[in-house]
Amino acid sequence: MAHTSTTHLLDPTLLTAIVDDLADKGWSQHDLFIPQGLTRELAAECQQRATDGRLAPAAVGRGATAQVRESVRGDSIQWLEPGESTATDAYLSYMDQLRQALNQALYLGLNDYESHFALYPPGAFYQRHVDRFRDDDRRTVSAVLYLNDSWLAEQGGALRIYPADEEHDVLPLGGRLVIFMSGELPHEVLPATRQRLSLTGWFRRRA
Ligand code: OGA
Ligand code: MN
């Protein structure tokens, strides 16, 4: 496919809204974070990687104890590297703008960003968890971009977050970004009746 993405500056109003939400309540949601055309290119790339067999079952935990446990999480993933495509590079560039805005406003000292495509087949889920590892506290801010067309509530697949032990569902609608403090917000992915695509990543600080 043709990659036509060019990166523009994120809207300062959007960045301010994200920063304010994170400071006030620890999470934020936006439906048009990046241009729609880029979301479509990223969705097509995720789909193509799946078709090419490049996604692999995701592990739980990290390092020597990492293992695939479908009773905990059932998605397949592939980590992004710089230089893979125009679309992924454009996304990485937007996320770097966001990283700098978070550092300027919240002094988080975020110094890198890691991310992966994720595909949940129908019925797959990810049990309630927090994103920060027990033995590694570098993950500070989590960001999930959804890559699905016209999602309906009855199709399941919500991201269920538990801010202050309340419950809030976010449908994985294409172009929607959810961002939250990695060490603070418990969340889970509910099973869906259809395939569910996303691009999930973490801003990290030094160990
Ligand atoms: C994760 C995760 C949420 C989602 O990958 O850690 O919680 O909505 N993903 O895909
Ligand atoms: Mn998570």
- Residues 114-148: tens digit of each pLDDT: 999 999 999 999 999 999 888 889 999 999 999 99
Ligand 1: residue whose CA is nearest its atom 8: 159
pLDDT, position 62: 81
Amino acid 145: pLDDT: 98
Closest CA to 131 of 150, 148, 118: 118
Residue 71, pLDDT score: 86
C-beta neighbour count of 9 within 10 angstroms? 9
Question: Which residue's alpha carbon is nearest to atom 6 within ligand 1?
Answer: 131
| β partners of residue 145 | 177, 199
Which has more pLDDT, 194 or 134?
A: 194
**Residue 198 confidence (pLDDT):** 98
Domain presence at residue 6: no
At 40, give phi and psi (nearest 5°): -65, -40
Q: How far is the CA of 96 from the centre of ligand 2 (A)?
A: 20
77: domain CATH number?
2.60.120.620
- Ordered DSSP codes for 73-134: B--EEEE--TTS-HHHHHHHHHHHHHHHHHHHHH---EEEEEEEEEEE-TT--EEEE-SSBT
The residue type at 153: A
- Which of 128, 190, 196, 198 is the best mutation target for the ligand 1 pocket, counting ligand atoms within 8 Å of the beta carbon and taking the most? 198
Residue 5: pLDDT above 90?
A: no
Q: Residue range 90-100: average pLDDT?
A: 97
Ligand 1, CB cutoff 6 Å, lining residues: 118, 126, 131, 144, 159, 187, 189, 198, 200
Ligand 1 pocket test target in 115, 131, 196 with most atoms within 8 Å of CB: 131
Q: Report pLDDT for 91.
A: 97
Distance 58 CA to ligand 2 centre (A): 12
The number of distinct structural domains making up the chain is: 1
Percent of the chain whose predicted confidence (pLDDT) is above 90: 86
pLDDT of residue 165: 79
| pLDDT of 187 higher than 80 | yes
Ligand nearest to the CA of 182: 2
Does any domain span residue 2? no
What would the two tokens of residue 155 be?
């199709």
The full 3-state SS of 43-57, as one line of letters, equals HHHHHHHHHCCCCEE
Q: Specify if 41 maps to a domain.
A: yes
Nearest to 90 by CA among 138, 122, 42, 129: 42
Question: Is 61 part of any domain?
Answer: no
Would residue 82 count as lying in a domain? Answer: yes
- Is 48 part of any domain? yes
pTM assigned to the model: 0.95
- Lowest-confidence segment of 64-73, 95-104, 138-147, 175-184 by average pLDDT: 64-73
How many residues are given for the chain? 207
**Which residue range is the domain that position 40 belongs to?**
13-56+71-205
Ligand 1 center to 75 CA (angstroms): 9
Whether pLDDT at 7 is above 80: no
pLDDT of residue 199: 98
Tell the residue number behind the tokens 């439906």, with chain if given. 31
Higher pLDDT, 66 or 167: 167
Decide if pLDDT at 60 tops 70.
yes
Q: Are 199 and 79 in contact (CB under 8 A)?
A: no
Flag the least confident range among 44-48, 142-146, 164-168. Answer: 164-168
In the reported structure, the alpha carbon of residue 189 is separated from the centroid of ligand 1 by a whole-number distance in angstroms of: 6
Q: Does residue 1 lie within any of the structural domains?
A: no
Nearest ligand 1 atom to alpha carbon 159: 8
> Is residue 140 helix, strand or coil?
strand
139 in a domain, yes or no? yes
